[in-house]
Structure 1
Amino acid sequence: MVQPGVKRDSVRHHPAVNGPSGASDELPLWVRRQDLTEADLPYIHTLLADSFEEWLEQADGFPWLPACRIVLLHPDCTRVAVSPGDADAPAPAEWSRDILGDTAASLAIDSCRPAHLRADEHSSASLRAFDSLAVPVFSRTSGFVFAALACLLPAGSAQGSELKLLQAAALHFRSCLYRRFELLFVRDLLQSNQLTSREERRRNMLFDVMRRLHDHIDVENVLSEVFNSLEQLYPLCRSDLFLSQDYSSTNEKVKPLSFHLQDMDLCWRAFMDGERREETDAGRRRIAFPLAGKQGVYGVLRLDVAEDAFDEVDVRFVAMLTGGAGTAFEKARLHEQANVLIGELRLINELTQRLNSSLRLSDTMQFATAELLHLFKADHCFILQLDPMKGHFTVMSSNVAELHQEVFATDYGFCGVMLSTKEPIILSDYRSATPVSSHLMEVTRSRSLLASPLLLNGEVIGAVMVAHEQANHFSYDNYKLLQVLSAHLGLAVSNASLHAEVRRMVITDNLTGLFARHYLNERIQRKQEKDVSGSLIVVDIDHFKKINDTYGHQVGDAILMQVSTIIRAAIRESDIAARWGGEELAIYLPQLSLDQTLRVAERIRKRVEAETAPKVTVSCGVSEWTSGDDRVSVESLFYRADMALYEAKHRGRNCVAIG
């Protein structure tokens, strides 16, 4: 029962219970003014137990009666600790009211006063062997009960001074508790301060890292900054970066994100989900952070650390670092791509200007071949032109001499594929299971291939192919660039071909297929400027007007074409045959002596007489020039040949005369 004559308030401020706390006077006053609150009650069991253990060590000289047991209870009446005692009379392990009913401890906690119950006043049989005394322990400022100290004495052994002794013990216990509380408080402050300082250092470091990351506009520098920062912060941590894009780095820690490797599952899940993923195995902790920007996920940063070496604060810090690195990587990558695009546009512009500056097809193709070899760092390049009439592709330009003018059927090789699909081709390795055979690839022993059709108005007019002897040499960016360049190259080839065709029509006689008179004059003039000699044959069909009058102009045209064919077959490739006018034809033979020219003229005369139908004959006038002549000109050469022709006519036709 509660000790009579003691009010609650007087107990709360009882000098024996609420005296000096015993805390160290060395601590600042503001620390000693800190106190427990009712919100701390669910969390103070450990503090109570440790303080009780310390108090027991210091209370060894207390004049307790033999067989006395001291019990420390929480305000919810759960037992926190008990002093050692006689094993034959154990103190109850559970002190809740549901089990023991009212006890001195529960009465002291409820009334906030010391309480004393005799053995026969206990409702629980487990306490009827004891007299029980209890005093509440109050907080030092707000005065709420945060514990109770109970004393169990063998029944009838109380001498009357035990309650005051217990009150003194409670004071001592509270001093021990507050000393521990103040030390814990100071320790928590120090830990909080250390944590705050650490967080501040991390924030400052993160700020510096982010600033340096965003100062870089080069991808390689961004990646180096990430690894340097991680190595500085976590020297025992192993880090690797797996990139999904077509990007090669000189940093050995940067690797491609491969779907086929077994240990890539963690990284692939982080990459696909765009969220952090981790796993633990054999004491190691592997964490995968997605390297993401605003436009997507570019790769995964994987850390491998000891399981206990990384806390959640570290994880959050690396996550923020990776997030900033992803944005910086994206910015640097976009900057590099923009520079590449600007370079490509500049290259396309320059290449287009150079291609269009020359209207000679051979010059255009040779220039394009050299530029493509340099641009794509290729080993071989081929530009082919489609001849739809003959149904084949012809190698018009190549750095492989043995393949120049090589002809391929329209259904063969990669050119055949492009003719049917009108789509470009990128091939990583020709030696792998490639269903298409290619003579060009086999002769050059190439493995990588970029190819694109040359289109004009949606129709294939040719193809361009660049090859390399190593596998996987070309990138997808190379593929896209060749696709753009091939459009300009196709237009340039078309323009050059059209120009060549127009020029051919201008310098060629439409009926006979021989050159026109003005072209012959130009060629002779250039030859006379460089050569030392040359000869001219003027051929005239005898009685041509009579043939037209007899057989008609169509037969006359046929005779002209027959004679022209005979002339082309009788002369060299370097000789120049032209229609001089009407039924007159002319042949210039550079660097040929007069005797040799006479034999050529005689051969033509005989073949015309023998091979034409209806049969006709021709008269020929021959002249020559040498660098030693007094006058060297086209006019004088033709004049002498024309005079010789008149001489042949005067002789009776079907003969050769010299002028």
Structure 2
Amino acid sequence: MESNNKMLEIKSRIFDFFLSSSNLTQTTFLTQLQLLLKEELQAEQAIVTLEENLLSQDQSLICEQAVSYTISSSEGSNVENVVIPLFDEEHAIGKIDLHFLSPVPLPLDSFNQISKELSIIFQHYNQYIFKRYEEKQYEELYAITSKFHSAMSVDGILSEVIKLLQRMYEDFSYLLLLTSDNDDLKHLPIKKLDFDDNNICAMNAYVTGEVQFENSIKDRRANIYIPIKGGQGVYGVMQIISLDAATLPEAEIKFIKLLADATGAALENTQLYEQSKQVITDLQLINETSHQLNTNLRLTEVTSFMVKKILQSFHAKEVAFVFYQEKGMEILPGSTEFFQQSDIKEYLTQMKEFLFSDGEPLFIGDLRVHKRLSDLPFCSCMVIPMLIPNGGKGACVVTHPLPYFFSFEQFKLLQSLIHHSTLAFNNSMLREELEKYVITDYLTKLYSRKYLDDKIKKSMKNDSYGTFILLDIDDFKIVNDTYGHQVGDKILIQVANIIKSNIRETDIGARWGGEELAIYLPKVDLNLGESIVVRIIEKIREETDPGVTVSCGLSFWNKNTQDSPRDLFHRADYALYKAKDQGKDQLCIEAASESSEKVKN
């Protein structure tokens, strides 16, 4: 009777303990259960061992579903040992080892009853633990999925995945085999999925999209390969490594597969997000560029703006706009310094052949293997052809010293950018060409008289002095009557070319009218101006064919003369008249406010 009461009391305490321990972790639960059994059964030691930690020799004992009793000696005293099996029908789910220094307080039949009662309780407890663990798994999955949506970065996604795996399955190692390059994620266990690799299982998982298993008894290693899939493709493989050849239960593999699918979807969404951001950035770049180029910029301003944008947006090293026309190759001002070198045309001779033969955009990862452009001291190169007015061809050349520096997406963006900017280049060129036609003489290509007048007015306002010369081709009517007007035009062109080749870029050569030409030399004093004109007279006498001579009248102004452009013209015209009257092929000078006259043959 006393034994039955004791038994009821023990069962009641154990049952109450199970009801009150629903929130305990498994480790805490087992620790407290062992203390309870030790206290209630007055045992020296109580050890609870669950199924996964049972030894093979325990299986036969537990399969008998009977309590075992043994006596052992320890330090001169006898220890009574009782092993209580825990079972589920015919399957062992655990055992309880009890050690007593004093006689066992209950008969073995009572321990058999405890065994049956605890087995039933542990069956329910295992089901409860499994459900709770399953709930925890899905809570973790929900939590990490929420983080995926807020992170939107590959680093954040993969870091969370690795942390979750290490937290839930700390006895395993992990490696993410990804198809994309992730050199900036070296702090994570990530490796590039190499299609030339000998890892057949990893490749099978990637190709088939199914979980693959690999066991090596020799190395005591087990590998599980789970594909990381999204809605549009497979982005890699999750490799789970067990160093002691332990395998995960099917339920765990199912959970990790769900995690891998969530990771694949997150990587895909991140990729789409980054692509959408890049598309927006690209559209903003094209829109901003188009807007800026529609503001009637000069050709040099267009080139400088485009070069700056390309350097910023593509992180290029050197950028140039190259035009090929009948007169030769031209590197537009505004291109980077490398392309402004005097010998740069030697590097670009092969490009002309490419533009006039293929005419297609060129995207080269390593110029060293490209025969036609191998002279360029760069590796990465993008060349986008451009059509320019008057049948000419051009190209935008973008380079970088590192091989394979530019992506194909950048190449397509550059094509679009150049396509939108070509119109601005052509408009600037046509506008400047039109301006040149307005201010230049069609035949001689010297400036027009109106342009000359405007420049002299500006110079007399801003400068301190200047020299003006009028030139008249001697006996030009006789040339036209003797050789014809075509030869007369040829003589005009020859004289104009001699003038242009003997004055500075800041000086102005103009057609005054008919066979009369004019030169204005800003910031040139009388003596220097005289020597320049004497040289031009000699050159015309020596280099024209048929040979002609010119008569010249020179006038000079400075701040003290109080001259107007009209006064300057009048004095030069008067000096020219004197040169004609005194025998032609000579220079006469009419100084301001002076009646003196100087003649130079």
1:302 pairs, out of 236, 239, 261, with 239
8 Å CA contact 1:453–1:460 kept in 2: the answer is: no
Partner of 2:185: 250
Please show how residues 36-51 of structure 1 align to structure 2 within 5 Å: none
Structure with more relative contact order (C-alpha pairs < 8 Å, separation 6 or more): 1
Q: Distance in 2 between matches of 1:295 and 1:227?
A: 23
**Alpha-carbon offset, residue 394 of structure 1:** 4.4
In structure 2, relative to structure 1, the CA distance for the partners of 1:200 and 1:354 (3 Å cut) is same
8 Å CA contact 1:419–1:460 kept in 2: the answer is: no
Partner of 2:428: 496
Query: In the TM superposition, what whole-angstrom CA distance separates every residue of 1:189-222 from its partner, at most 9, and x where no partner exists?
Result: 2211111111111111111111222222333322
Partner of 1:569: 501
DSSP-derived class of the 1:407 partner: helix
DSSP-derived class of the 1:373 partner: helix
**Alpha-carbon offset, residue 430 of structure 1:** 3.9
**Alpha-carbon offset, residue 236 of structure 1:** 3.4
2:324 corresponds to 1:386: yes
In structure 2, relative to structure 1, the CA distance for the partners of 1:26 and 1:176 (3 Å cut) is closer
Q: Distance in 1 between matches of 2:169 and 2:478?
A: 107
Query: In the TM superposition, what whole-angstrom CA distance separates every residue of 1:473-506 from its partner, at most 9, and x where no partner exists?
Result: 3223322222222223433332322223222222
8 Å CA contact 1:359–1:495 kept in 2: the answer is: no
Q: Distance in 1 between matches of 2:293 and 2:376?
A: 25
In structure 2, relative to structure 1, the CA distance for the partners of 1:249 and 1:418 (3 Å cut) is farther
Q: Distance in 2 between matches of 1:57 and 1:401?
A: 96
**Alpha-carbon offset, residue 177 of structure 1:** 9.2
Q: Distance in 2 between matches of 1:460 and 1:555?
A: 30
TM-score under structure 2 length normalisation? 0.73
Q: Distance in 2 between matches of 1:630 and 1:308?
A: 106
Q: What is the aligned-residue RMSD (CA, Å)?
A: 3.6
Q: Distance in 2 between matches of 1:275 and 1:53?
A: 41
**Alpha-carbon offset, residue 182 of structure 1:** 5.3
1:330 pairs, out of 268, 279, 288, with 268
1:288 pairs, out of 211, 225, 233, with 225
Give the aligned residue type for 1:301.
Answer: M
Partner of 1:267: 202
8 Å CA contact 1:644–1:657 kept in 2: the answer is: yes
2:467 pairs, out of 535, 548, 567, with 535
Q: Distance in 2 between matches of 1:490 and 1:469?
A: 26
Give the aligned residue type for 1:334.
Answer: L
2:404 corresponds to 1:469: no
Give the aligned residue type for 2:576.
Answer: L
Q: Distance in 1 between matches of 2:301 and 2:272?
A: 37
Query: In the TM superposition, what whole-angstrom CA distance separates every residue of 1:40-84 from its partner, at most 9, and x where no partner exists?
Result: xxxxxx9999787849999xxxxxxxxxxxxxxxxxxxxx9xxxx
In structure 2, relative to structure 1, the CA distance for the partners of 1:47 and 1:426 (3 Å cut) is closer
**Alpha-carbon offset, residue 300 of structure 1:** 2.4
In structure 2, relative to structure 1, the CA distance for the partners of 1:616 and 1:404 (3 Å cut) is closer
8 Å CA contact 1:213–1:328 kept in 2: the answer is: yes
In structure 2, relative to structure 1, the CA distance for the partners of 1:403 and 1:235 (3 Å cut) is farther
8 Å CA contact 2:149–2:266 kept in 1: the answer is: yes
Give the aligned residue type for 2:196.
Answer: H
Partner of 1:320: 258
8 Å CA contact 2:449–2:512 kept in 1: the answer is: yes
Q: Distance in 2 between matches of 1:182 and 1:237?
A: 36
Query: In the TM superposition, what whole-angstrom CA distance separates every residue of 1:412-446 from its partner, at most 9, and x where no partner exists?
Result: 15x64455333333333445x444443332xxxx3
Partner of 2:565: 634
Query: In the TM superposition, what whole-angstrom CA distance separates every residue of 1:499-529 from its partner, at most 9, and x where no partner exists?
Result: 2322222222111121212222233333334
8 Å CA contact 1:24–1:179 kept in 2: the answer is: no
Please show how residues 488-637 of structure 1 align to structure 2 within 5 Å: 488-549=420-481, 551-631=483-563, 633-637=564-568
State the percentage of identical aligned residues.
34
Please show how residues 103-502 of structure 1 align to structure 2 within 5 Å: 183-245=118-180, 248-253=183-188, 254-263=190-199, 265-281=200-216, 282-306=219-243, 307-308=245-246, 310-387=248-325, 389-390=326-327, 392=329, 394=331, 397-400=335-338, 403=341, 406-408=344-346, 412=350, 416-417=353-354, 419-431=356-368, 433-441=369-377, 446-455=378-387, 461-502=393-434
Give the aligned residue type for 2:154.
Answer: V
Segments of 5+ residues of structure 2 without an aligned counterpart are: 1-6, 16-57, 71-89, 91-108, 591-601
Query: In the TM superposition, what whole-angstrom CA distance separates every residue of 1:538-583 from its partner, at most 9, and x where no partner exists?
Result: 1112343454455543333233223223322333343221111112
In structure 2, relative to structure 1, the CA distance for the partners of 1:57 and 1:577 (3 Å cut) is closer
DSSP-derived class of the 1:298 partner: strand
In structure 2, relative to structure 1, the CA distance for the partners of 1:344 and 1:51 (3 Å cut) is closer
Query: In the TM superposition, what whole-angstrom CA distance separates every residue of 1:318-346 from its partner, at most 9, and x where no partner exists?
Result: 11111112212222221122112111211
Partner of 2:104: none
Give the aligned residue type for 1:472.
Answer: Y
8 Å CA contact 2:300–2:332 kept in 1: the answer is: no
8 Å CA contact 1:51–1:177 kept in 2: the answer is: no
Give the aligned residue type for 2:362.
Answer: I
Partner of 2:587: 656
TM-score under structure 1 length normalisation? 0.67
**Alpha-carbon offset, residue 27 of structure 1:** 6.2
DSSP-derived class of the 1:412 partner: helix
Q: Distance in 1 between matches of 2:506 and 2:186?
A: 61
In structure 2, relative to structure 1, the CA distance for the partners of 1:467 and 1:558 (3 Å cut) is closer
In structure 2, relative to structure 1, the CA distance for the partners of 1:53 and 1:533 (3 Å cut) is closer
Give the aligned residue type for 2:314.
Answer: F
